[in-house]
């Protein structure tokens, strides 16, 4: 249950593509992740999204780092320490490398994608821990579409959409690679709505999200995302429904914004 919940906290993806005008090089967003337990929405973990520049001998990349960590009082029940990170072009957000390390209640899994953008392929490395403690590894080369991105890159590209000109009911398609599979995401623009958040009262773009052929997200009108209706398009609130219940993600703080 919790494994799917924290995957969902990252699956607030949208669609489209443009130059990066919304995401700064030193941004930090913090969220509270909650799950409905016996009819009560209970805060279980903190999700943090951070950006920073990384220089190599050949190129400068933007690191997109996302972590999910249960609050200490829940660690004895189900301890989660998840890390998702992508390395992308600062200007276009084109992905070059994606890493995902999952540590949830003793379950360990790691994924790495190296994007070969000229050939539309991904070199994948999957690792899992067996019952005896040894690590199982699988390597694959996967063909992908020209617009397919990893999940973290997708979240940041979403914020560069031209939602100002979208009409209510407009549907946008997107493809994300996750667990070595491509998933088709449908995003519907639902208009604007003003909501109260921890960073103030915000007028937001409201989006409805569904994933085709997925056992994770359920329904087409039960998964909603609110982005601030400004140049930063900060995700401030999300509601989602999965097979075993429902939850939400609420922003706690936002620093280092670009605009």
Domain residue ranges of the chain, discontinuous segments joined by +: 2-250
d(CA 54, CA 99): 15
For residue 167, what pLDDT is reported?
Answer: 94
For residue 13, what pLDDT is reported?
Answer: 39
Tens-digit pLDDT string for the chain (259 aa) = 444 444 444 444 334 445 899 999 999 999 999 988 888 999 999 999 999 999 988 899 999 999 999 999 999 988 999 999 999 999 999 999 999 999 988 889 999 999 999 999 999 999 998 878 888 999 999 999 998 999 999 889 888 877 888 999 988 788 899 999 998 888 889 999 999 999 999 999 999 888 776 555 555 567 899 999 999 999 999 998 776 678 899 999 999 999 9
Sequential DSSP letters for 121-155: EEEEEEEEE-TTSPEEEEEEEEE--TT-B-HHHHH
For residue 9, what pLDDT is reported?
Answer: 46
How many C-beta neighbours within 10 Å does residue 85 have? 17
For residue 15, what pLDDT is reported?
Answer: 40
Closest CA to 84 of 203, 213, 179, 183: 179
What are the start-end ranges of the E strands in the chain? 28-37, 40-55, 60-70, 81-88, 95-104, 107-116, 121-129, 135-143, 171-178, 181-197, 200-211, 224-228, 235-242, 245-255
Closest CA to 19 of 120, 161, 148, 145: 161
For residue 217, what pLDDT is reported?
Answer: 53
- pTM of the complete model: 0.88
């Amino acid at each position: 249950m919790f494994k799917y919940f924290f995957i969902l906290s990252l699956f607030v993806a949208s669609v489209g593509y443009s130059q990066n005008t919304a995401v700064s090089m030193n941004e930090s967003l913090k969220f509270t992740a909650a799950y409905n337990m016996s009819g009560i929405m209970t805060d279980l973990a903190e999700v943090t999204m951070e950006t920073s520049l990384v220089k190599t001998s050949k190129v400068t990349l933007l690191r997109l780092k996302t972590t999910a960590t249960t609050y200490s009082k829940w660690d004895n029940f189900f301890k989660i320490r998840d890390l998702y990170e992508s390395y992308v072009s600062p200007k276009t957000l084109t992905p070059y490398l994606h890493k995902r390390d999952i540590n949830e209640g003793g379950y360990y899994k790691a994924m790495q994608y190296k994007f070969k953008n000229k050939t539309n392929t991904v070199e994948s490395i999957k690792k899992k821990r067996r019952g005896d403690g040894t690590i199982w590894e699988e390597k694959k080369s996967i063909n992908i579409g020209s617009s397919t991105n990893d999940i973290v890159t997708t979240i940041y590209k979403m914020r560069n959409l031209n939602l100002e000109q979208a009409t209510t009911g407009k549907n946008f398609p997107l493809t994300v690679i996750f667990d070595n599979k491509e998933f088709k995401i449908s995003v519907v623009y639902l208009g604007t709505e003003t909501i109260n958040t921890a960073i103030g009262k915000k007028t937001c773009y409201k989006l409805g999200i569904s994933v085709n052929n997925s056992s994770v997200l359920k329904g087409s009108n039960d998964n909603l995302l609110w982005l601030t209706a400004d140049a930063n398009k900060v995700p401030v609130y999300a509601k989602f429904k999965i097979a075993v219940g429902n939850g939400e993600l609420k922003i706690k703080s936002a620093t280092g914004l670009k605009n």
